[in-house]
Amino acid sequence: MIRSIPSPTIAALELGPFTFHFYALCIITGIAVAIWLGDKRFRDRATHAKSVVSEVSITAVPFGIIGGRIYHVITSPDAYFGKGAHPLDAFKIWEGGLGIWGAISLGAIAAWFRYRQLAKKLDLPSFLVFLDALAPGVLFAQAIGRFGNWFNVELFGRPLDAPWALQVPARFRPLGYSAFETFHPTFLYESLWCVLLAVALIGAGKRLKSGQIFSLYVMGYSIGRLVVESIRIDTAHVFAGLRVNIWVSILVSLAGLVTLLSQSKKAE
């Protein structure tokens, strides 16, 4: 009988002069799945739009990674600019640390610019249709990417005594938690929530107006993230008694709800 989820004993694979970090491999795999599914879904709406998703991704993905890293560094400045920290560590993305809202924001802006360029040459539907096509794939990418946190043994939650608890080696336990051995596997909670939400969006897609799938993604993911953030115990900046990411989740989920309601009043 499994009494807890074990933590990986290695976080990278060395092959000759090359080192492959599992965190990075999870991110790359997730991106590949998002592009594949997004392309399939988009071509269902624009059959002539072959390779549009791939071309947009060439621009959007790098900007998304940059945006995600910037968000993480801004919301966790002590880890890179605090006492004893090394500012150059901000560039070590393979060690973990990509803020999803920074990634989505900057990635979406870059995608919009590139999509507009392609739309001038091709008869493409609105950018909202494009975002709707991408949303479920992005959720699957996030679900896969969260396993990178498992390999890095990071971002787990409060102590937990249950069969699904995550076993955390002593060297990874935060200050004040050294006496506890198992914790909430928040990476798994968020991953499962992303998968369930993606499946729900795919199932409900045909009954929604343009843009509503993406709005539901924004709102739905933020609600799940709000719950996960309330469990996490890693060091984070706090504002008015709550973690910054909790405030961000609240604001983004409300923005998603307002946008969804606004879109429901518009004619298709």
**Does 6 fall in a domain?**
no
Cα–Cα distance, 106 to 186 (Å, whole number): 25
**Does 11 fall in a domain?**
no
Given this model, what pLDDT does residue 267 score? 53
**Does 174 fall in a domain?**
yes
Least confident of 168-177, 194-203, 237-246: 237-246
Three-class SS state of 173: coil
Residue 1 has pLDDT above 50, yes or no: no
**Over pLDDT 90: what percentage of the chain?**
62
| Per-residue exposure over 17-39, b if at least 16 CB sit within 10 Å of its own CB, e if not | eeeebbbbbbbbbbbebbbebbb
**Does 7 fall in a domain?**
no
Three-class SS state of 182: strand
Mean pLDDT, all residues of the chain = 89
Average pLDDT over residues 191-209: 92
Number of domains comprising the chain: 1
Closest CA to 200 of 187, 213, 190: 213
Q: Which structural domain range is residue 203 located in? A: 17-154+161-264
Given this model, what pLDDT does residue 34 score? 96
Closest CA to 130 of 52, 187, 222: 52
**Does 8 fall in a domain?**
no
Given this model, what pLDDT does residue 75 score? 77
**Does 5 fall in a domain?**
no
**Does 257 fall in a domain?**
yes
Given this model, what pLDDT does residue 265 score? 78
**Does 12 fall in a domain?**
no
How does residue 2 score in pLDDT terms, banded at 50, 70 and 90? Answer: low
- State the pTM of this model: 0.90
Average pLDDT over residues 115-141: 93
